[in-house]
Amino acid sequence: MKLDRIMPSVYIKTYGCQMNERDSEQVAAMFLAGGYRLTDSDAQADVVLINTCSVREKAELKALGKMGMLCSQAEEKPWAVFGLMGCMVQSRARELFEEIPRLDVVTGTHCYHRVFSICDALLKQRMANLPPAPLREGAHISQVEDLPDAHTRIRDHLPARSSCSAFVSIMQGCEMHCSYCIVPFTRGGERSRPATDIMDEVKRLVDTGVKEVTLLGQIVNRYGRDEAIVDGRGAFVRLLEALHDIEGLERMRFTSPHPIGFHDDLVRAFSYLPKLCSHIHFPMQSGSDRILKLMRRPYRQEKYMELCAAMRSARPDLAITTDIIVGFPGETQEDYLLTKAAVKKVEFDNAFIFQYSPRRGTPAAEMPGQICLREKEARNHDLLETVNRIAIARNNALVGTRQTILVEGPSKTNPNRLQGRTSQNKPVIIEKGDAQIGTLVPVTICECTGFTLYGAV
């Protein structure tokens, strides 16, 4: 293998949530600006990066396994730089160097802006045949606020990604400390970006052809919660209103909201902001008040149900999806059945079900009544069946309806077709030639095969 000295390449693999995807885009943009090209080939890449997630043990093991595999290619390209970044690094930087000897760089969530300069310096050093001096950058604890945004249209360099939809981070961190969750440790305290910065970023994205933005935050509705309420509207709703006025922006989404701080103004927003999509990902976690309390989730079932009902009356076609943890310490069969009953009551359009995974340093990991793997799996399996049955029924109910889809690109399963998403965030397949990528088109849903909808323009 040869090193391309003129235009070295970088490969970035991302695990975890949209925050990580967005951070990876930012890192990719810096490499592009520095004269690198992005590659989908890990074997060829001169700089190999993995952006890691710590939220469950499985996510960590996947990233470690992948990095181990990638480092095994190192003999073919001794100059290559291998780096881990993101949430897992923030919580266990030092061990990682011990576990993976070939690793060169680790950078935590607070210093991903430095990934480029560190890796580039190291690669140049190796290109110049200087004595190897692995740079061991630990997780920086200093809080680095937002960087100039990823102006460069990274998506244009990665054809697999949609270029008409973009993530925009509006806040960082979380200080909720749900008893099971590692995120407050990996991403630090909550801080909101100034609204003017967000507006500027969205305007620039729209100028490059973006039609849909998804606003990101761990508790996105807590955005700007120290700011005054103006005419009954908090900072988050005022931000939605301001974004709504941007010409050329067609759709807005946000993730993830939390029942805490979910006030009437946000419920009402669904009734008068047509660009706000008819979908909300609204993590419930459990249907048992006793478990919610142990989870340190500061709401009860009744409140969650009231909010779902209120949002649905503000926007009758609203799709609701959720996150649920099964097998939380102390969860009895009765608690589990309450969760199952709640799933049936809300009729979620879909739900991510997670088996509780103990995270080091979190209170739940030390709680009595840890549930065995077999029981967690059984509950997961049982709940998944209910979730899927409801999800398929809700999809089937769309057959014959008219929906507007944003056409995002070729279908993942059949490149001869196009894929778009409805306002409810449901993927719809249409024939190629029926519409242009990046446009909103009305379709009639003519068929549903479980999770896939087919539309005719």
Per-residue contact flags (x/-) with ligand F3S for residues 155 to 194, judged by CB under 6 A: ----------------------------x--xx-------
- Contact with ligand SAH (CB under 6 A): which of 233, 258, 340, 379? 258
Please tell me whether residue 409 adopts helix, strand or coil conformation. strand
The phi, psi pair for 121, rounded to 5°, reads -60, -40
Would strands 105-107 and 81-86 be described as parallel, antiparallel, or unpaired?
A: parallel
Burial 86-108 (b: 16+ CB within 10 A, else e): bbbbbbbbeebbeebebbbbbbb
122 binds ligand SAH (CB under 6 A): no
Binding residue (CB under 6 A) for ligand SF4 from 183, 243, 266, 342: 183
Query: Is the previous residue joined to 271 through a cis bond, with omega within 30 degrees of 0?
Result: no
From edge to edge, which strands make up the β-sheet containing 105-107? 37-38, 9-14, 47-52, 81-86, 105-107
> Are 201 and 149 within 8 A, CB to CB?
yes
Using CB under 6 A, which of 178, 319, 324, 325 touches ligand SF4?
178
Handedness of CA 110, 114, 119, 125 (dihedral sign): negative
Cβ-based nearer residue to ligand SF4, 173 or 438: 173
How many residues belong to the site for ligand SAH (CB under 6 A)? 18
Distance CA 148, CA 252 (A): 22
The backbone torsions φ and ψ at residue 184, rounded to the nearest 5 degrees and listed phi first, read: -55, -25
Distance CA 190, CA 222 (A): 9
User: At closest approach, how far in Å is the CB of 54 from ligand SAH?
Assistant: 9
144 binds ligand SF4 (CB under 6 A): no
Decide if residue 177 touches ligand SF4 (CB under 6 A).
yes
Among 28, 87, 103, 277, binds ligand F3S (CB under 6 A): 87
Residues facing 444 on adjacent strands? 402, 456
- Helix, strand, or coil (residue 166): strand
Q: End-to-end distance of the chain based on CA atoms, in angstroms?
A: 48
| Partner in contact with 177, chosen from ligand SF4, ligand SAH, ligand F3S, none, beta carbon below 5 to 8 Å by kind | ligand SF4
Binding part of the chain for ligand SF4, among 44-52, 59-67, 176-184, 370-378 by CB under 6 A, reads: 176-184
357 binds ligand SAH (CB under 6 A): yes
Helix/strand/coil for 301: helix
The interface partner of residue 325, options being ligand F3S, ligand SAH, ligand SF4, none and the CB cut-off 5 to 8 Å by kind, is ligand SAH
Comparing CB distances to ligand F3S, the nearer of 172 and 278 is 172
* # binding residues, ligand SF4 (CB under 6 A): 10
Residue selected from 14, 54, 218, 424 as contacting ligand SF4 according to rule CB under 6 A:
218
Residue 206 or residue 295: which is nearer to ligand SF4 going by CB? Answer: 295
**Which range touches ligand SAH (CB under 6 A), out of 106-114, 174-182, 208-216, 342-350?**
174-182
φ, ψ for residue 286 (rounded to 5)? -155, 155
Site residues for ligand SF4 per CB under 6 A: 174, 176-178, 181, 183-184, 218-219, 258
Site residues for ligand SAH per CB under 6 A: 55-56, 174, 180-181, 183, 218-219, 256, 258, 283, 285, 323, 325, 354, 356-357, 359
